[in-house]
Every structure is written in structure tokens, then in C-alpha cells.
Amino acid sequence: MRSRLVLAFSVLCAPFAVAATQPPRTAIRAIPARLALTFGDGEQDGDAYVMSSIRAVRQSPTGDIYVLDAKEADVKQFTSSGKYVRTFARRGSGPGELTGPSFRMEVTDREVVVTDNMLRRNAVFSLAGKHIRTVNHVARSERTAPVESHAMRFGFSVAVSPPQIAANVSDLNWRLVMQGPAKQRDTLGVIRAGLISVNVDGATRHITTSFEETGLGHGGAYAFLGDSLMAIVDGYRGEVRWIMFTPQGPSVRRRASLTTIKGAPRVADFDSLKRMLEQRWKRSDPNPRVTFSNVPPGYSVANQALFGADGALWVGAPPANNRVQWTVFPRVGESFLVELPVSFTMTSANGTRLYGYGKGHDDIPLVMVYQLSTP
């Protein structure tokens, strides 16, 4: 998900209805962005490294750029102009080693912190790549292990657990659960994954259940800023909340709205998916009958979110017309829009510089940096 993954409060599945997009609530300005820098094929550095599967790109306050490579299980460090510096971490389960690094990596003025979901821990390095310490995730009793665990201030922690995808389980939600210093627990929110249950019945088999992407988008988004602040976005209602952690617990400190919200899906929206699945099942069944259940309640207007280094909240909409529209909420001042190509996956923002990845020739993964035009 991703990081980054997405969050919305539980909404009961609505019946099929005519899709409707409401007009913008308010008109806000748009700021253009241009591609300013690409690197990562290794050629300019004498093939000193291999870039296989980029999951996160971050810039440190000193200007260096750090790239988390999930397939290589390492972190590559570059200068602000893209010149290779070093590679640190490696595959394994020992100190400073990674088994299953996720898309999460944070870079502060002193440290690089990589989340390892497989080992359920964070590996902490200096900016020069020296392993400093290992922080294990909080032990929990859920049947499904969390994919993220965030240690917050005042003894609070927040864990994100994934949907349980199985034939006999219909829980298609991500769950964000807070645990307090006195072991008290509370569900802060629930993600409605953009999945639908597929029921197939035919001449040679009983009902078989599987799950497919709907194209409606996940039901919202969430993001964390340090150990004190998080944001929750409801993609169905277009509502945004900033939550601060205090000694008394989480407290809503700010609210905002996205400019557009959408309606419920129509029956016709799933016709192409139904035809594709029937063709797939005809290979083993002469007369497959496909029906759907657990239909998402609507089209989402937000399925990703992140905090910039300056504290601005970026909320990304599902792709449309090969573009992704981001709504940006600065700490001070009015919100604005930024459109980026769908071929660019943004993982961090630092002022007017946007960091992420895409692919070059021969599908080689590349680091990409976009520059916002100054207002």
C-alpha cells in the first residue's frame, strides 16, 4: 500500500446506483511541475550498483538522496545531483540486515530508518550508512501481523493490519489500531480495500470465491509525521483530519475537505470485469456464472497520502487520464493542486522538490525528481 496504503472509516456497502461526481466545492489554484533530474541506471557511475525495485526515495537535510531497493534489500546513497556515494544494508536477518523492506523509509537529520515487515522491526542507520540499532515492533496478539508499526509519543503506538484475503473470510479492510501506555486499545480507522468478492458457479464446480481489483480505488489514505502527528483521509467523503498525540491520547487538531467527491458505482462499471473473468473460467468450466459481492461503497478520491519535509500534507487521487492529481495542504496558507504523470510514483516531498521513481528504457527503474514552479 504503501506506505504508501490507504484509510477510510467503515462504510456499509451501498447498493448499485447511478455514478455521480459532484461539482468542485471550491476552486483552488494549480501549480505545474517539471521533471528536473533522473538517475539510477548505474552507467554514469561505472555500473557501481544495481537498481532493481525502488520502493522509497528520500532526501536528507544535508541534501543527499537515499533510495530503498526492496529486491536488493539495501539502501543506496547519492548526492543531490545523483552521483553515487555508497550502498549499505544487505539481505539477511542479522544486525543491519534486511529481509523484507517495505516501501517505508524515513530520513532525519541524523538517521535513516528502514521498516522491515518480514522481521517486524526497524533498522536504524547513520547518514553514512553505519548500523546504529534495531527497534523491534510492538508484540501483538492479532492473527494477522501488522504491516506497519509506528511508535508515537507518550507511550502510544499505531499498527496497521492488512485485509484477511481467504475464501472463508470477507474482511476486505485495513485496520489502524492504537495501543496506549496502559495497554488500552482503540481502532482509529478502517481501510476499505478497492477489492470485490467474485463468486463463480458453473456446471462442473460449486461456488468458488476469489477477489479482484475493481478500479474504484482504496477508500482513503493515511500518513504519519514524526512521532506526534498523523493524518486520516476519507476518500468517499473527501474529508481530511490531522490528529495529534498528547498525554491524554489522540486529539483532532485540524480538518479540511477535498475539492471533489464521487458517487456509488453502477452495475455497468463491472461489466468488463465480469466478461474478463468469465473468459478466464471458461478454460476449466464450459458455463461459468460470475456474480459479485462485498462491493465497495463508492469511487474514492484519495488513495495515497504523505507528509512533506516542511509539514505539508499531500493527498493523491486515483489515476485518471494518465495523470495523478495531488491536493497539497501547507502548514500555513491555502491548499493547491499538483498534477503528475502516472508513470511517476512519488514517495516524498521536500519543499518544491518531489522525489520518487519510474522506469526508463528497457524498464530499468530510475529515480526521478520533479520541481514545482514557484507561485
Higher-confidence residue of 87 and 166: namely 87
Residue 282 has pLDDT above 90, yes or no: no
| Surface-to-core class of residue 300, CB atoms within 10 Å of its CB (0-12 exposed, 13-18 middle, 19+ buried) | buried
Residue 2: per-residue pLDDT:
39
CA angle 97, 103, 107 (to 5 degrees): 75
- Which of 33-37, 214-218, 327-331 is least confident? 214-218
- Which of 232-241, 261-270, 333-342 is least confident? 261-270
Residue 34: per-residue pLDDT:
97
Residue 269: per-residue pLDDT:
86
- For the segment 86-110, what is each residue's pLDDT rounded down to a tens digit? 999 999 999 999 987 666 899 999 9
Question: Average pLDDT, whole number, for the chain?
Answer: 84
pTM for the complete prediction? 0.85
Residue 21: per-residue pLDDT:
40
Residue 24: per-residue pLDDT:
45
Residue 115 has pLDDT above 90, yes or no: no
> pLDDT-based confidence at 78, cuts 50/70/90?
very high
Distance CA 21, CA 200 (A): 32
> pLDDT-based confidence at 172, cuts 50/70/90?
confident
Q: Quick one: the chain helix, strand, coil %, rounded to 5?
A: 5, 50, 45
> Which residues partner with 369 through β-bridges?
37, 355
